[in-house]
Chains A and B, each alone.
Chain A
Amino acid sequence: MQNILLNIDTATIDWSRAQFALTAIYHWLFVPLTLGLAVIMGIAETCYYRTKKRFWKEVAKFWQKLFGVNFAMGVATGIILEFEFGTNWSNYSWFVGDIFGAPLAIEGILAFFMESTFVAVMYFGWKKVSPGFHLASTWLTGLGATISAWWILVANAWMQYPVGCEFNPDTMRHEMVDFFAVAFSPFAVGKFCHTVISAWIIGAVFVVAVSSWYLMKKREQKLAVESIKIASIVGLIASLGAAFTGHISGQQVAKVQPMKLAAMEALYNGGTEQGLTAVAWVNPFRQPDYANEQAAPLKIDMPYALSIMATNDPKGYVPGINDLLNGYTLPDGTSEPSVEEKMERGRLAIQTLADYRKAKAEGASKEELSPLLATLSANMPYFGYGYIRDRSEVVPYVPVNFWAFRIMVGAGCLFILFFAVLVITSFRIPYVTIITRRLLASLGLIHESHADTVGADALPVWHYWLAIALVPLSYIASESGWLVAEFGRQPWTIQDMLPTWAAVSDLNSGSVAITFFLFLILFTTMLAVEINILLKQIKKGPSA
């Protein structure tokens, strides 16, 4: 957390940020399992619809039961975030509420109603509707949840890349001028694809873990083997998809949030032909001395990969933290002003706003106000910089960005390997399966007697324990992605527009701290209850 010397109690800013982070992190424990299990249960029920075999109906109902537990525990946990907007972030709510509020309202009216309508048919309608209608309801439940995610991610994407709006100095609000620019901004599309696909990984890991537990206990073996087949394919496609969409997201971040990319990479000084850092020594507990260090120590990178990722050109220019602070001009004429220039223009924007409102209140004519409006409009892109007192305030906390990014990508690579091995060993793929199993046997990773066997039930016990261990890792990876997204955006609540200390309400920090701990207790209790109910239902099995 940065120490900001202001009239606002700095503890209020930090507690408000911590509270929002806590509620968002807890909310995101429930959502991805909903999105991921929706795909698995849809596929299972599709198998039932096509084969008419009672076994598949039991499989579908089992995963739908676990979906229901998670859905019930997670529902409405996101509403608390909206409470916080109105209380802790009142300036933010007023300043951008017209735009930010619209996707949230659409989410509530459209997507949630769709979800809640079809979830009732899914649970209550087995004997009341046709198999085809029931199958459609199951998929529409998942689609409703996914559309909900779309609108929430549109709102978050707008915070990272504010488009489609104009500032009205009379109402002190940003007004939406282009709904489609907001709803379908490339940043929103990229973020949606990456976030939802990564949620499918969590669903797949969860199903493999539960099935692995059954195989270890030698019960529900057919359900476990067949569920692992489904989850392995979903997991492999999702893992590869997450890597691809993550690359797209990285390119968008390079274009519109270069400081976030520089923090993710601990890139103090950029240039052309930049390598992608695999690992470096970045002290997790303090901001690095980027102004005086050339690069993070012990850096191992993949040559050219960062330039390729950011610009699709191995010789592409990628600015580092110091380049963005000092400003730069490229040979092709592209330039970035220094942070001091931005601060000056930001101060001019805020002062012009004050002058405009004062003149208007005193009855100035349209002709007298027009030059003020022109100055305000020209400098509005740097409005947020008018609140910056020191250049260090625009640099996000590098250690969190750096390590969270590596945890996310490292786990993602592990999931690709894990699900690839699972697919190969679960399905009879000519040549590939037997060759792979014999290779694994020669490495001592599976028993010789299983070298010619296909199926997840013939895997060694350590593989099942690994699958169970991957459940917390999948959540850690997913939350790490959000840490990169949100810590990398700091200090901005809206990129370049409003830093946290301008957006926050002037509240007593003690009251924010109290609600922080209330949420900690409430959400931890809910999480404990959910885990308890899920474990009980898993122990009971599908016949319960």
Chain B
Amino acid sequence: MRKDNFFSWAFLLYYDGFRSMTLGKTLWLIIFIKLFIMFFVLKLFFFPNFLSQHAAEGEEDEFVASELIERQAP
């Protein structure tokens, strides 16, 4: 691969870097586990978008308006 090409250089930077990692491999594993839990467990099952579940697309303003108006103090 031509090393004077910027993209080749960048590829080798990451390729060689990841290959020679020791502690880094453990840290990356932790990062992937963390991201998997966040996006494929927490976000999917526990953090749905509340507005899109309760208001049709384009009618969010009506939903929020009724929420905010109804909650005013008597």
Contact = CB atoms under 8 A, between A and B. Distances in A.
A172 B61 contact: yes
Interface in A387-409: 387-389
B7 interface: no
B38 A86 contact: no
Interface stretch (A70-78, A142-150, A316-324, A461-469): A70-78
Nearest to A357: B65
A504 to B, nearest CB: 10
B37 A522 contact: yes
A501 B35 CA distance: 31
Interface in B32-71: 34-35, 37-38, 42-43, 46-51, 54, 60-61, 64-65, 67-71
A75 B18 CA distance: 18
Q: Which residue, of B23, B26, B72, has the highest number of chain A Cβ atoms within 10 A?
A: B72
Contacts of A515: 42, 46-47
Contact of A90 (B9, B50, B72, B73): B50
B50 to A, nearest CB: 4
B38 A79 contact: yes
B4 interface: no
B61 A173 contact: yes
A94 B51 contact: yes
Contacts of B24: 68, 123
Given A72-B28, A73-B30, A83-B42, A505 B50 contact: yes
Interface residues of B, number: 39
Contact of B26 (A123, A511, A533): A533
Nearest to A173: B61
A170 interface: yes
Interface string A329-369: 00000000000000100010011011001000000000000
Interface string A61-98: 00001001100110110011001101110110111000
A86 B68 contact: no
Given A76-B34, A389-B73, A120 B50 contact: no
Given A73-B30, A170-B61, A354 B69 contact: yes
A7 B71 contact: yes
- Interface extent on A, as a size class? 35 or more
A171 interface: yes
Contact of A123 (B17, B31, B50, B67): B17
Do most interface residues of chain A lie in helix, strand or loop, or is the interface mixed?
A: helix
Do most interface residues of chain B lie in helix, strand or loop, or is the interface mixed?
A: helix
A124 B35 contact: no
A502 interface: yes
A387 B73 contact: yes
Interface in A262-285: none
A63 to B, nearest CB: 14
A189 interface: no
B68 A95 contact: yes
B26 A7 contact: no
Interface of B: 9, 12-14, 16-18, 23-24, 26-28, 30-31, 34-35, 37-38, 42-43, 46-51, 54, 60-61, 64-65, 67-74
29 contacts: A8-B71, A72-B30, A76-B31, A80-B42, A83-B38, A83-B42, A86-B47, A86-B49, A93-B51, A94-B61, A95-B68, A120-B14, A121-B13, A123-B17, A124-B17, A347-B72, A350-B69, A350-B72, A354-B69, A386-B72, A502-B67, A502-B71, A506-B67, A515-B42, A515-B47, A518-B42, A526-B34, A533-B23, A533-B26
Given A73-B30, A83-B38, A506-B67, 4 more contacts: A83-B42, A95-B64, A120-B14, A353-B65
